Every structure is written in C-alpha cells, then in structure tokens.
Structure 1
C-alpha cells in the first residue's frame, strides 16, 4: 500500500469547510489519521460519531507534541478567529508542521500572522477554497464539496516551496483546481465576486422580510428568488467576520454597485428604454459568456 500524502491531518474548526476537507482526504486515503479541534466538547464528540474525524480535542496543544514533518494543520474557523488559533500554534506547534487556512479574506490573515509571529512563517500557506453551501456545522461535511472547484493560494515571498507543494497536492487530491495570486488581488476579486453578492442577498431578504409588510411576499416568490437568495442562509457569524475583514474592497464594490443601481432606478423612473435595454443586454451577454465558460471547464474536468 502506498504511503499517504499526509500523515496526521489536523482540522481546527470542524464545520462545513474543515469537515468537508477532512472527509474528502479520508475517503481518498490521502491521510493516515484525521484529528479535529473544536471549542466545544460536544462538537468533538459529534464529529467523531459522524466519522468526520478519528479523534477530537478542545485544544490544539493537546496533540501538538505528536506533530512534525508531513503533518498538516488546516485552520477552518471564522476569519476574525484565526488570530487566536495562530497564538495557540505559536505556543506549541513545531515549525516543521505545514499550516494552511480556508479563510475568505487573505489580507486579514496575513496581518494576524504578522502580529503573532512578527512575520508570516514559511510553513504557513495562505489559502481559500472557492466552494461552500448555505449549510453549516459538523453534519454539513461533504467529501466531494471541492470537486471541480477552485482553491486560491496566496504565497508570500518567504513561503516554503515544500509546504506550498504539499498544500497544493492536498487540494488536488480532493478534486480541486489550484490557482495562485497575490493577497491584494485575491481580496479585491473576492470582494466583488463573492462578498458583494452576499451583501446584496442578505440586504434583499432583510428588506422583504422586515420592511415590506406583505404576508404574501415569500409565499409567492418564484424559483429565481430562491436561487438568488440561497446564500442569505449562510452562516451569519462567518459573513459578519468577512465584512469586517475585507471592508475596503467590499465598500469599493458596494459603492460601484450603488451608483449603477441609482442609474438604473433613474432609467426606470424616466422610462429610458434605450438605457434599460443596454444594461439588460450587456448583463445577459456577460452572464451567458460566464455560463459557457463554466460549461467548458466542467467538460474539461470530466475528460481528465
């Protein structure tokens, strides 16, 4: 039997993101053992009972002495909780252990690591899987969540090639396409393509539920409303943290969207058919092109 890619895989935060990677690696025989770390003992017990992890603890330092080269710690906690995990890592984890994360904002993670260590350690590979679900918690773990999805790694100048390569291979094992970009570019791109849509979805649902006093609003909502607002069922704590951590990029995207929405409102108010048709036509063309691109990528992945 061939040697697994990872010896001990330690997941800090046993929810959708961390649990899905843990079960994905287990199912594919890519690690010898999965160890979970969670704040609550009940979560630890639930994760073991559901087969998400082999064993679980409430403190990383409980098992840090077991870890060394070939082991991976994956930080899968809300963005603003990463700093506390890094504090614990500094106190008890050897510098031979590979560390990576799944936070949606990379600039805040970089700053947190610099605050804790003085400089981002070479063993720490910043990353972000572009996959998710409106579900959360231990029971949401899905071993196939990352298949045909992208993972963005944002290596720094001092990032170790050895640790970077291991993290890259780890994500590839669970079916992900791994890309690299700078921290700044990542936060700008995700602020527009992921964070802004969540802002809009949350605001729309809140507006309809709280401000429009019509009991039939949701009763007669069609499939388009359901599809568009699905992401408003995502974990509020996680998205609260993302909004604070990537504030600058999100506000820039929001300002641009608000300006365009104001122009669209004016076009509707003044029955400016030319403007309305141009906006709708451009949007349809862009959306169709995006759909075609996704279809081609999916077909290529099936051929592989």
Structure 2
C-alpha cells in the first residue's frame, strides 16, 4: 500500500476515477473526499468511492498523506488555500489541471513560492461526462500523465506521484510547463472551442430543429466533446488564453483560405488539402504510444 490516507478535493470524473483506480490496485488505505456539491458527496459515498466526506476541504485533508486537487483549473489556488493550514507534515499535494503555467503561478501566489511538496500533473484521459457518478476504474489505463516539475521540486514527492499514476496503468512523462500548455492548446483546448462553437452556431440556425435529428455518426464524432463540462472548459481556455487565442487566429485564417478556394472553384486544391490532412492524421496516429 503506497498511500495510507488519500484526500480528494473535487469529486468529479477525474478525482473519482483516481480514487477508484488506486483502490482497485490496492495502493490506498482510506479515502476522504470533499466537494462543494452535496450531490457529488452523496454519490461518492453511495458508490463506495470514498470512505468519508467532509463539509470542508480542510477537514478532508487533515490526516492525508496525499492530497489530489481535482477542481476546475482556475480554482486550484483557492482549493489549496482552503487546505493549507490543515496539511500534515510530509503530505504531498498534486493536481490534475489541464493548464500547468497557471497552476504553478496560483500555487506560488498562495504559498509565497512553489513548495517542494507540490507536484503539478495532468492526466491525458477523460470523457465528455462529468461528476463522480461517471468515474471509471480504468480511465487512466494506457494513457499518459504529464508531470511538470518545478525548480524547487522534491524528488521523492515527484517519484511518489509518478509511482501512483503508474500503479493505475498510466504512462508518466515529464515536460516543461510552457511546452505542456502550447501542446495541449493545440491538441485539446482549441478542439473543444471549435466543437462548442460549431454546435452553438448550428443551434442558432432557423432550421436547427431539422438539423440535429438528421445528424449522423460524423456529427456525433466531431461534436462529442461539446458535451463536456462548460465550467471546466471555460476555466481551461481562460487559463491558457494566449496559446489558445494564437491557434484560433490561425484556424480562422485557414478557414478563410478554404472559403476563398471554394469561391474560386479551386476544387483540386481543396482535394489536395483533404489528402494532406488525412495523411498527416494517419501518420501521427501511428506514432501514438
């Protein structure tokens, strides 16, 4: 058993799945939870995901060896502040936020610098569902978890967090926080903006009532992530606004270029663009480990 007492602050999909996975792997003793949503607290206890829930984050973390902050990314600092006075000596705190520069800034602001016991992390796993009731034991299996160590990082804390993610089937990699945010602006954050925007645009058309009932598999594939948590993705895009905004500008330029090709009836160039895109996607998919 790697963790005697685990505290989950934020009983959502990721926090609940981490608790389930660690328990299934035999890596945790008792699990305590806190969430401001009473329904999530009830669900977590009813499903046996946690052993106890508390009315405050401070009470939930008081006896924890490891604290997981699984809250919308702009609330990371607030969640840590609520816990700070109750952390026991030797406790490790880690997070699951989708942006890492903002998390490190917020943690440093709360603590007056980046503490050695804080390990910044991001599991590259999830579904369009939210809430602890939708958590899954195998959510992280064969998925990457990114750790973004800081200069003052305690090596043992980093190794312990990495070991726990590995114990639930994840592959741990490390990278610089700025590199992380640039990569995931492209592969995750911008796609969510596009999906949300596309569905909203269709919903405002005069004939929207006829569009959605006739949508096929391609529509469902492209728009699946528009069913994700609006609050979570608002926070992610806001926290990584510079990187997402720069890519969005480039995407708008690309769409305008395609629109001009259509106006000019340059259909061969459009077919070539589609062919390049298909080849690139197949090539990159083959590289995913």
TM range (shorter): over 0.9
CA contact (8 A) 2:59 2:86 kept: no
Note the alpha carbon deviations across 1:41-73, whole angstroms, 9 max, x for none. 443232111111111112122244423xxx110
1:76 aligns to 2:70 (yes or no): yes
Provide the C-alpha distance between the structure 2 equivalents of 1:50 and 1:158, rounded to a whole number of angstroms: 38
1:273 aligns to 2:270 (yes or no): no
1:129 aligns to 2:123 (yes or no): yes
CA contact (8 A) 2:58 2:84 kept: no
CA contact (8 A) 1:73 1:99 kept: yes
Provide the C-alpha distance between the structure 2 equivalents of 1:57 and 1:250, rounded to a whole number of angstroms: 37
Quote the residue 2:212 is aligned against: 218
Provide the C-alpha distance between the structure 1 equivalents of 2:283 and 2:55, rounded to a whole number of angstroms: 47
Provide the C-alpha distance between the structure 1 equivalents of 2:42 and 2:52, rounded to a whole number of angstroms: 8
Note the alpha carbon deviations across 1:215-244, whole angstroms, 9 max, x for none. 221111110110110000000110111111
CA contact (8 A) 1:44 1:58 kept: no
How many residues are paired up?
Answer: 289
Deviates more, 1:283-292 or 1:194-203: 283-292
Quote the residue 2:106 is aligned against: 112
Equivalent positions of 1:242-261 (< 5 A) are: 242-261=236-255
Assess, with a 3 A threshold, how the Cα gap between structure 1 residues 154 and 212 changes in structure 2: closer, same or farther: farther
Question: 1:95 Cα deviation (Å)?
Answer: 4.5
Q: Secondary structure of the residue that 1:100 maps to in structure 2?
A: strand
CA contact (8 A) 1:24 1:174 kept: yes
Quote the residue 1:23 is aligned against: 20
Provide the C-alpha distance between the structure 2 equivalents of 1:121 and 1:32, rounded to a whole number of angstroms: 26
Provide the C-alpha distance between the structure 2 equivalents of 1:57 and 1:106, rounded to a whole number of angstroms: 28
Provide the C-alpha distance between the structure 2 equivalents of 1:63 and 1:282, rounded to a whole number of angstroms: 52
CA contact (8 A) 1:148 1:177 kept: yes
Assess, with a 3 A threshold, how the Cα gap between structure 1 residues 15 and 269 changes in structure 2: closer, same or farther: same
Provide the C-alpha distance between the structure 2 equivalents of 1:43 and 1:139, rounded to a whole number of angstroms: 7
Which residues of structure 1 form unaligned runs of 5+?
298-304
Give the aligned CA root-mean-square deviation in angstroms: 1.3
Provide the C-alpha distance between the structure 1 equivalents of 2:76 and 2:96, rounded to a whole number of angstroms: 10
Equivalent positions of 1:139-218 (< 5 A) are: 139-218=133-212
Provide the C-alpha distance between the structure 2 equivalents of 1:43 and 1:255, rounded to a whole number of angstroms: 38
Quote the residue 1:60 is aligned against: 57
Question: 1:212 Cα deviation (Å)?
Answer: 4.6
Runs of 4+ with deviation above 4 angstroms: none
Give the TM-score taking structure 2 as reference length: 0.96
Q: Secondary structure of the residue that 1:169 maps to in structure 2?
A: helix
Q: Secondary structure of the residue that 2:271 maps to in structure 1?
A: helix
Provide the C-alpha distance between the structure 1 equivalents of 2:41 and 2:248, rounded to a whole number of angstroms: 39
Give the TM-score taking structure 1 as reference length: 0.92
Which residues of structure 2 form unaligned runs of 5+?
none
1:32 to 29, 32, 35: 29
Q: Secondary structure of the residue that 2:151 maps to in structure 1?
A: coil
Provide the C-alpha distance between the structure 1 equivalents of 2:42 and 2:27, rounded to a whole number of angstroms: 23
Question: 1:273 Cα deviation (Å)?
Answer: 2.5
